[in-house]
Structure 1
Amino acid sequence: MSRTLHVAAAAVAPLCVATFLVSTLAVELLGSAEAIAGVKAAIVTPGLWLLVPAMAALGGSGIRLARTRRDPLVEAKRRRMRLVAANGLLVLVPCALLLDTWASAGRFDTAFFALQGVELLAGSANLALMLSSLRDGRRLAARRRVAAARG
Structure 2
Amino acid sequence: MIKVIHPVAGTVAMLTIASLWLSTVLSEMFASQVAIAAVKMAVPWSFLLLVPALAAAGGSGFAAAKGRQAGLIGAKIKRMPWIAANGLLVLIPSALFLASKARASEFDTSFYAVQALELAAGATNITLLGLKMRDGFKMKGRLRRRPARPVKASPL
TM-score by length of 2: 0.88
Residue-pair matches, total: 142
Q: Say what the alpha-carbon RMSD is for the aligned residues.
A: 1.1
Equivalent position of 2:100 in the other structure: 101
Partner of 1:122: 121
Q: Which amino acid aligns with 1:69?
A: R
Where do 5+ consecutive residues of structure 2 fail to align? 143-156
Letter in 2 for 1:99: L
Which residue matches 2:39? 39
- Write out the 4+ residue segments of structure 1 that deviate beyond 6 Å after TM superposition: none
Identity over the aligned pairs, expressed in percent? Answer: 46
- Tell me, in whole angstroms, the C-alpha distance in 2 between the residues paired with 1:70 and 1:91: 27
Question: What per-residue deviation string (whole Å, max 9, x for no partner) do you get for residues 18-53 of structure 1?
Answer: 1011100000011111101100111111x1111111
Corresponding position of 2:24: 24
* Cα distance in 1, alignment partners of residues 32 and 47 from structure 2: 23
Specify which structure has the higher proportion of helix: 1
CA apart distance, 1:70 = 2.8
1:50-89 to 2 correspondence within 5 Å? 50-89=49-88
Q: In 1, distance between residues paired with 2:36 and 2:86? A: 23
Unaligned runs of 5+ in 1: 144-151
Distance 1:82 1:67 in 2: 18
| 1:13 corresponds to | 13
Q: Give the distance between the partners of 2:58 and 2:67, measured in 1 at CA.
A: 15
Taking structure 1 as the reference length, the TM-score comes to: 0.91
Structure 2 partner of 1:146: none
